[in-house]
Amino acid sequence: MRNKKIITKIFHKKISKLKASVLANDDSITNKVAFSKPSIYTYETEFNNNTKMTFVGKWKSKKIIINGIFLIGNKDIKITTLLTRNHKIFGYNKSYIREILFYKNINSDLKKYLVNTKGFYSNNLTDTYFIAMDYMTNTEKIVKEDYKKILDAITNFHKEYYNQKSSVKELCLNYYEIEDYKKCKKVMLEMFDKLDNEKFFDANKILKVNNFIKNIDNEYKQVLFHQTLTHNDLSPRNMFINNGKIYIYDWELACYQNPEHDLIEFLVFVLHELKDNEIKNLIEYFKKVLCEKLNIEIDSDTYKKIIEFNVLEYVVNRLTLLRRANNKLKLQFIEQITTNISRLMDILKI
């Protein structure tokens, strides 16, 4: 009944039949954290005027964020309290309904890379939102031959919003300033130190990561000159090909930061499929394409610092959260990406 009312509001049509089917990946963090019910469904809808439509409906609520914080805290009151007070480390800034604003306000030229949105519903009283999107059939998974196409596609987003800080408010993006990293030092150190790091990182890497956290607000200020809109969750699971076109979806964590974050995040998910020279070639390809689109030059030493920052920031920010959550979730891909980023540090001599 609730779904019918919401869908009627979105499409302004009364519904005669509605069938909802779960559309979920067993490795979906959001669905795992939702606990009680999945968050993504396909809806086969028949309206009173005899028209039919099948679409994807995505639910999100503040409850999922709260569940996630407690899952990562794992009964550790100190960690849970630090996460709550410094919520930017958890990937959310001010509004958990940012995804609606993103899809409404994103530059129209970039919408060709997004799954078309049919309508939105939000309820501040129940802390929920709902997005209706096209249901696409005949989709193909991303394969190795598509990797450069993905980098071509995402750099178009980087180009459009490069050094436009106004996009933080316009698109309701996550945004970390040096002061935010400074506030988060304590929780980052606490969480990283409590993990079984020796399984993946040798002593030198662990020392490097700890020093990075301690000095993040001093040593890496210069990398923040170089910021733009990023997907902030750019993994193959969040993209597909349909009729030869690349689509990138699930922009709920979109962030204003170094464009290289998207590069590193993507590499971390596919590294085990690539040889060392292929990885280096993709990094060089990304830099070349990005600089050409932005019409800028970045010297090799500065770019090395930018890459180093984004590798280490990924380790202490996103990956540490995933690994702590994995104590309960037991998702195989999290162990794989941890192994991958350790290897990436070796390849880049970080």
Q: CATH code at 23?
A: 3.90.1200.10
Section 212-222 average pLDDT? 88
Q: Torsion angle, CA of 205/207/209/211, rounded to 10 degrees?
A: -150
User: In terms of pLDDT, which residue wins out, 122 or 260?
Assistant: 260
Q: What is the pLDDT of residue 270?
A: 97
CA distances from 92 to 17, 66, 206, 244, 316 (A): 36, 11, 27, 33, 16
Mean pLDDT rounded to a whole number for the chain: 88
CA 84/CA 90 separation, integer angstroms: 9
Number of Cβ atoms within 10 Å of the Cβ of 202: 13
Number of structural domains the chain divides into: 1
Q: What is the DSSP string of 142-153?
A: --GGGHHHHHHH
| Strand-by-strand arrangement of the 52-61 sheet | 15-22, 40-47, 52-61, 128-134, 117-123
User: Which pLDDT score, from 0 to 100, does residue 317 have?
Assistant: 87
Measure CA of the first residue to CA of the last residue in the chain; give whole Å: 55
The pLDDT, as a whole number, for residue 334 is 93
What confidence score (pLDDT) does residue 76 get? 78
Helix (H) or strand (E) holding 181: helix 178-193
Q: Would you state the pLDDT for residue 138?
A: 87
Q: How far apart are CA 257 and CA 1, in angstroms?
A: 42
When pLDDT is averaged across residues 247-253 and rounded to a whole number, the result is 91
- The three-state secondary structure class of 70 is helix
Q: What is this structure's pTM?
A: 0.92
Task: Indicate if the pLDDT at residue 38 is higher than 70.
Answer: no
Taking a C-beta distance cutoff of 8 angstroms, is the pair 169, 303 a contact? no
Q: What is the extent of the structural domain holding 170?
A: 2-347
Give tens-digit pLDDT for 116-169. Answer: 999 999 887 777 889 999 998 888 989 999 999 999 999 999 999 999 999 999
Which amino acid, 269?
Answer: F
Q: Are 129 and 21 in contact (CB under 8 A)?
A: no
Q: What's the pLDDT score for residue 277?
A: 97
CA dist 42 to 23, 119, 219, 242, Å? 6, 15, 47, 18
Beta-strand relationship, 128-134 and 255-257: unpaired
Cα 294 to Cα 50, 163, 230, 298, distances in angstroms: 50, 10, 15, 11
Judged by average pLDDT, the poorest of 52-66, 250-264, 283-297 is 52-66
Highest mean pLDDT out of 6-15, 118-127, 137-146, 254-263: 254-263
Mean pLDDT of 81-86: 70
